[in-house]
């Protein structure tokens, strides 16, 4: 199963791959060179299919939990001053995505979308300390009944050149449903209220819509 954001690219790459494979067969006399071209074509096609995959998952919704917005590895857990929207201290959890991760961005909680903004910017590597402030990014805040306002921020990276964001202010957000897509790897930051019980550790691998980042089971 593939994400809708990949349909056009997958079709284009498949057609180009087919043309290159046929051309290599008729235009290249060297058997080893022809096989080399075919192997490269198949590898590129495989990577594109990997990138846009959208596997079916057994989501378990829970209003007392904040679920990971994306697949990847936890690279930041710290208290920060969030100056775009909250203008106060928050707990930040950042998840870095490699090009081989599933790149669907999912709502970590259910609620009402109270803030949504796109910021043009640079394309620093996603683990750069200033990437969350300098890079192209989108910021979405969902007001949930259990946690109050939760922010998640999609951040472009050195490879990721396109952020897709489906959120609109005033709409309802539903936990695990698609919030957007980041093409070709990057990072997502989630900002939680101070005192929220964190459920993950640094360098832990997480799955979007599955892994519990934080909970409020008081």
Residues serving a catalytic function are 186
Q: How many residues make up the chain in this entry?
A: 218
Q: How far apart are the first and last CA of the chain?
A: 38
Cβ atoms 173, 111 nearer than 8 A: yes
Q: Kindly report each contact of residues 165-170 with a partner whose C-beta sits within 8 Å and lies 24 or more positions away, as own/partner.
A: 165/116, 165/118, 165/138, 165/140, 167/113, 167/116, 167/138, 167/140, 168/113, 168/116, 169/113, 169/114, 169/115, 169/116, 170/112, 170/113
Mind spelling out the 3-state secondary structure of 59-96? CCCCCCEEECCCCEEEEEEEEEEECCCCCEEEEEEEEE
Q: Which residues contact 47 (CB under 8 A, 6 or more apart)?
A: 99, 100
| C-alpha–C-alpha distance, residues 92 and 151, integer Å | 9
């Amino acid at each position: 199963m593939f994400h809708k954001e990949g349909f056009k690219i997958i079709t284009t790459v498949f057609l180009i791959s087919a043309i290159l494979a046929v051309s290599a067969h008729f235009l290249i006399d060297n058997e080893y060179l022809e096989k080399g071209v075919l192997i490269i074509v198949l590898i590129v096609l495989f990577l594109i299919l990997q990138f846009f995959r959208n596997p079916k998952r057994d989501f378990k919704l829970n209003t007392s939990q904040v679920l990971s917005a994306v697949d990847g590895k936890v690279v930041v857990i710290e208290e920060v001053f969030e100056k775009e929207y909250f203008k106060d201290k928050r707990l930040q959890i950042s998840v870095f995505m490699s090009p081989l991760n599933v790149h669907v961005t999912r709502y970590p909680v259910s609620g009402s979308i109270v803030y949504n903004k796109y910021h043009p910017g640079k394309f620093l590597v996603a683990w750069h300390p200033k990437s969350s402030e300098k890079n192209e990014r989108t910021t979405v805040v969902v007001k949930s009944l259990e946690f109050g306002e939760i922010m998640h921020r999609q951040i472009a990276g050195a490879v990721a050149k396109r952020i897709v964001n489906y959120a609109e202010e005033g709409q309802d957000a539903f936990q695990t449903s698609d919030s957007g897509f980041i093409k070709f790897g990057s990072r997502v930051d989630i900002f939680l209220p101070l005192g929220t019980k964190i459920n993950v550790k640094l360098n832990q691998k997480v799955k979007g819509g599955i892994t519990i980042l934080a909970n409020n089971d008081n």
